[in-house]
Amino acid sequence: MEDKKNEILSAYQFRHACKVFDTNQKISDENFHFILETGRLSPSSFGLEPWRFVVVQEQELREKLKPVAGGAQRQLPTSSHLLFILTRRESELKFDSEYVTKLMKEVQKMPEEVVKFVSNMYRMFTEIELENNEQLIYEWACKQSYIAMGNMMTAAAQIGIDSCPVEGIDREKVASIFHDEGIMNKHEFGVACLVAFGYRSEDPHRQKTRQSIEEIVVWR
């Protein structure tokens, strides 16, 4: 138990927002599939898995993305794997949408009476908590995608792979490029975030700094 805890904490100490990656080192297919699997197995509210993962490896497409991804100028050309996390839009996440119904029946394999019960609970949640507001529902779905992103970054660190989350992108323009490339339908999905993976070209210039546990935790 102690060894496992130390191993996990070491991974958190190792992880940092890597700006430039070593272009001579590439993540193996096996290791990247492992990272993706930890994203796939991540939790989401109501188990709706509102995400889709787009791995951009084509250099031509990375060049097209450069003008609309200002925060990833160093990661775009150097990362081994570039991962965009998409989020389903409000129309896809209605309680009676084809996607939600199929997920409950075919993926979660709920009995018909359970589907009705959970669908009704979910309908009330979107009506009361999210006011059936398209933007609020989309932002709520984006939050689920960040859970998957965090899990993938941690899993990567545990096997010695670096990462960097990036929000400095024009989401609508990235979505338009992906739509034109046939990667996604921008009426069904939006772009939540970007995370680059690879191997650091050099070690961080300073040690990881954080507030003390006493400063951030309140016990009552």
3-state secondary structure of 43: coil
**Best CA proximity match to 112, nearest among 101, 121, 122:** 101
**Domain presence at residue 220:** no
Please, which residues bridge with residue 87 across strands? 51, 190
Token couple for 23? 């272009």
Alpha-carbon distances, residue 55 vs 33, 129, 196, 197 (angstroms): 11, 33, 10, 10
Number of domains present in the structure of the chain: 1
Question: What whole-number distance in Å separates Cα of residue 207 and Cα of residue 105?
Answer: 49
Token couple for 121? 């609970």
The answer to whether 39 and 149 are in contact (CB under 8 A) is yes
Alpha-carbon distances, residue 170 vs 74, 91, 135, 177, 190 (angstroms): 16, 22, 17, 11, 11
Question: What whole-number distance in Å separates Cα of residue 39 and Cα of residue 18?
Answer: 20
| Domain span including residue 49 | 18-89+136-200
**Domain presence at residue 9:** no
Instruction: Summarize pLDDT for 25-76 with one digit per residue, the tens.
Output: 999 999 999 999 999 999 999 999 999 999 999 999 999 999 999 999 999 9
Q: Return the pLDDT at 205.
A: 81
**Domain presence at residue 147:** yes
Q: Name residues whose C-beta falls within 8 Å of residue 182's C-beta, 6 or more positions apart in sequence.
A: none
**Domain presence at residue 120:** no
Q: Return the pLDDT at 206.
A: 81
Q: Name residues whose C-beta falls within 8 Å of residue 51's C-beta, 6 or more positions apart in sequence.
A: 39, 44, 85, 86, 87, 88, 144, 145, 148, 192
Residues of the chain with pLDDT under 70: none
**Domain presence at residue 121:** no
Q: Return the pLDDT at 204.
A: 87
Q: Return the pLDDT at 208.
A: 87
Alpha-carbon distances, residue 85 vs 15, 36, 134, 150 (angstroms): 20, 11, 19, 12
Token couple for 168? 């400095």
Question: What whole-number distance in Å separates Cα of residue 115 and Cα of residue 165?
Answer: 36
The CATH code of the domain that includes 70 is 3.40.109.10
pTM greater than the 0.75 cutoff: yes
Question: What whole-number distance in Å separates Cα of residue 117 and Cα of residue 128?
Answer: 17
Question: What whole-number distance in Å separates Cα of residue 73 and Cα of residue 20?
Answer: 9
**Domain presence at residue 105:** no
**Domain presence at residue 181:** yes
**Domain presence at residue 191:** yes
Residue type, 5: K
Q: Return the pLDDT at 5.
A: 95
